[in-house]
Amino acid sequence: MPIDKHTGEFIDLTEAKELTNAYQAAFPNEPKCFFFGSEKLQSVIGQDGCIGLRMYRGFDVVRNEQNVVIVGVDANGNDMTDGLLLDRGRMCPTDCDSVSPLNQ
């Protein structure tokens, strides 16, 4: 399947709740989510030739915590590793939306 800027599917809240709740039940000790600010995300996706984002799970051995490394992806499906790389999002738990149906 070719990679393009239309990759991904929008889902409704019911499916999103099913997915996130199932993950949280299966992996209760794992982070639920990570928050990244829109300016940082737009900087990555706004790079010349960037058609999307790839998110890698990462582990900081110094901080002893998980996070996500975000990299731009070009039209050939290649990580834009010479460009901006984003990390150190705010992790839930501790930085969570306590009333979100996605955080149960």
Q: What is residue 32's predicted lDDT score, i.e. its pLDDT? A: 94
Question: DSSP code of 1?
Answer: -
> Would you say 20 and 32 are in contact if contact means Cβ atoms under 8 Å apart?
yes
- pLDDT at residue 1 is higher than 70: no
Using alpha carbons, list the distances in angstroms from residue 32 to 6, 68, 93. 26, 12, 7
How confident is the model over 34-51, as pLDDT tens digits? 999 999 999 999 999 999
Q: Domain boundaries in the chain? A: 13-92
Three-class secondary structure of residue 25 per DSSP: helix
Contacts of 81 (CB under 8 A, 6+ apart): 71
Using alpha carbons, list the distances in angstroms from residue 23 to 44, 60, 74, 104. 27, 22, 29, 10
Main-chain phi, psi angles of 67, to 5 degrees = -160, -170
Q: Give the Cα separation of 52 and 44 in Å (integer).
A: 9
How confident is the model over 12-31, as pLDDT tens digits? 999 999 999 999 999 999 99
